[in-house]
Structure 1
C-alpha cells in the first residue's frame, strides 16, 4: 500500500477517536449516573463479552497494568457488579466475572448509550444509518482481523 494511504488512514483514525469519545458520546453524558470512570465501564463491557477472565486477561483487554486494575476491580466489586472466584485447579488464579447486578448495569448502560446514539442520528435518513452500521461493522471486523483475533 502506498505511504499516502497510510497517512490518510492515520489522519482519519486520529480524527475519529476523539470525535466519537468527546463530541459524539461526551463522557459526562455517558457516565453521569454513576461514580464510575470510563475504565470501569470498559471492564464491565469486556466481562459482558466473556464468561470470566483473570486480572491479567482483563488488563490486556483494556490496556491497563495490573497494579492500576486492582482498585478499579475492587470498586466494581464494592458496587456489587463483579465477583472474584478462585480457580478450582489452581488457588493462585482468581477469575473475575459479572454478577447479576453487573449484567443489569451493562444492559442499562447499553440502552442509555443507544438512546444517545438514536438522538444524535435522528436527523439522518434511514439509508445513511444503514450505511453507517455496515461501515462500522466493516471497520471493526478489519481491526479485529489485523489484531489476529478473528
Structure 2
C-alpha cells in the first residue's frame, strides 16, 4: 500500500505542475517533437511541409526539431527564431482568442516571413479572413496564455 500512495502522490504532483503552465512549444501529449516532426525550414524553401528525419535533429526551447536534410538543420540552427513556428507551434487563431490548441503542421500560413500553424482547415479559413488582426490579438496574448 505504501508504494501505491507514493505512486499516487507522484502522479498528482506531476499533474499539478503540468497544469501550472504549458510548454512554450506545442509537442503533443506523448511527444517532445516540435511542429509534429515536420521540417520547418521546408515551408520557406519548398513552400510545403516536409516530414523531418530523426537523423537530423536539434533541441530548441525544450523540444526536439527534425529536418529533412543537413542543410535545413544548419539553417535552423543559425536562426531558429526565423524558422520555428510563431507561438511555439500552438494554433495561432486559438492564441488570438486567449486559448491554447494544437497547431497542425498541415494547416499553415507564412505571413511577413513567419510561420503560423492552425488547428485544422476550418480554423485556418477563419484565420485567413483577418490574419493581421488575429496576429495583433495573439501577440497581445502571448506568452501569458501559457500560464
Say whether the fold is shared (TM-score over 0.5). Answer: no
TM-score (norm 2): 0.29
- Greater fraction strand: 2
Write 1 or 2 for the structure with the bigger share of helix: 1
Question: Quick check: which has more Rg, 1 or 2?
Answer: 1
Query: Normalising by the residue count of structure 1, what TM-score does the alignment of the two structures yield?
Result: 0.28
